[in-house]
Amino acid sequence: MDECIFCKIIKGDLPAKVLYKDEQVTAFHDINPVAPTHILLIPNKHIASINEIAPEDEALFGYMMTSVKKIAELTGVEKSGYRLIANTGPDANQEVFHIHFHVIGGQRMRHPMG
């Protein structure tokens, strides 16, 4: 955990353009945005990937889903739409092994993905 870049952001040891933070989650602007709105939403608890979620984390991840809605409202994409992405593991190009959701919007998304 001491080496995790997202844990360092949560603790304030690394700078980030934080959009929202509370006791359970932190949301900040991606440093390499792929759209006008590109926010990373992370749990403040270090969990490496979706595959590491434990039964006791169920309430936290329900809270994260309601936080996605809050992020969409704060960034103004709740009506036009947004994409929610969670990369899990090397084949999905997960670069930071701390669960994070990409909230991407502000433009029409391309399809298909993959």
Residue 74 lies in a domain: yes
Structure tokens at 93: 């190009």
Q: What domain range includes position 55?
A: 5-105
Give me the pLDDT at residue 111, please: 82
- Any idea which residue has 């403040």 for tokens? 44
Annotated catalytic residues are 100
Q: Which pLDDT value is given to residue 113?
A: 72
pLDDT at residue 109 is higher than 70: yes
Whether the per-residue pLDDT at 1 is higher than 70: the answer is no
In a domain, 36, yes or no: yes
- Statement: residue 114 has pLDDT above 70: no
In-domain check, residue 92: yes
Judge whether 111 lies within some domain.
no
Q: What is each CA distance from 74 to 14, 54, 91, 96, in whole angstroms? A: 23, 29, 31, 25
Q: Tens digits of per-residue pLDDT, 39-48?
A: 999 999 999 9
Largest interatomic CA distance in the chain: 38
pLDDT tens by residue, 60-88: 999 999 999 999 999 999 999 999 999 99
Work out the mean pLDDT of the chain and round it to a whole number: 95
Predicted TM-score (pTM) above 0.75:
yes
Domain count, the chain: 1
3 within 8 A of 48, measured Cβ to Cβ = no
114 within a domain of the structure (yes/no): no
Residue 90: which CATH number? 3.30.428.10
- The reply to whether 94 falls in a domain is yes
User: Judging by DSSP bridges, how do beta strands 101-105 and 82-85 pair with one another?
Assistant: antiparallel
